[in-house]
Amino acid sequence: MKKGISLIQVDKGPSETSKKIKKLSIYSSLFFLVITIIVSAGTLYFYVLTNNNLSENTNKLSDLKSEIKKLEKKEIYLVTVANRIDSIENINKIRFLPSKIINETIALIVPGFSFSTFELSTNKVRIEGRCDGLASLASLNEKIDQVKMEKVFSDYSLSDINRAKNGEYSVALTLYK
């Protein structure tokens, strides 16, 4: 009998290497499936945890915003009041008080002195008047020096001293604030 070459392949079943490859592919697929499930579960847990914290933080944020709004109104009020107080203090510093100056000027009146003109401005007082005699003129001069020592007025000028025939002295006095 002649043996010939047969080109038809005979199926001998799966080979050993193909069985190993098939087993390895099944194990690797299962391994990747388990890893995917673990990663997905971790991601889901992280998402739920983060979302829960986010809602809590959103509630806290809205509470803090409402508290800030309440405090903002108080702050605006306090700033307004502080500005008004500063303005009032500035006005009081530069305020011209005629009654105070008049009261301080009255202290200069001595017996025998009468004034005919009284001019009041923000930084000075001008008085023109008459002294009955030399004694009242000397008293007026002493009183001016005394008031200057008390630092009621910063400076003074006693000018235009004229003696009339009847013995009276006309005086012009300027007091500087």
108-160 residue pLDDT tens: 778 888 888 888 887 788 888 888 888 888 888 888 777 777 776 777 777 77
DSSP letter (8 states) at residue 133: S
CB-based burial label for 131 (10 Å; 0-12, 13-18, 19+):
buried
Asked if residue 11 has pLDDT above 70, the reply is: no
Model pTM?
Answer: 0.44
Which residue would you say has higher pLDDT here, 65 or 49? Answer: 65
- pLDDT given for residue 95 in this prediction: 64
Residue 61 is which amino acid? L
- pLDDT given for residue 97 in this prediction: 65
Phi, psi angles (nearest 5°) of residue 114: -135, 145
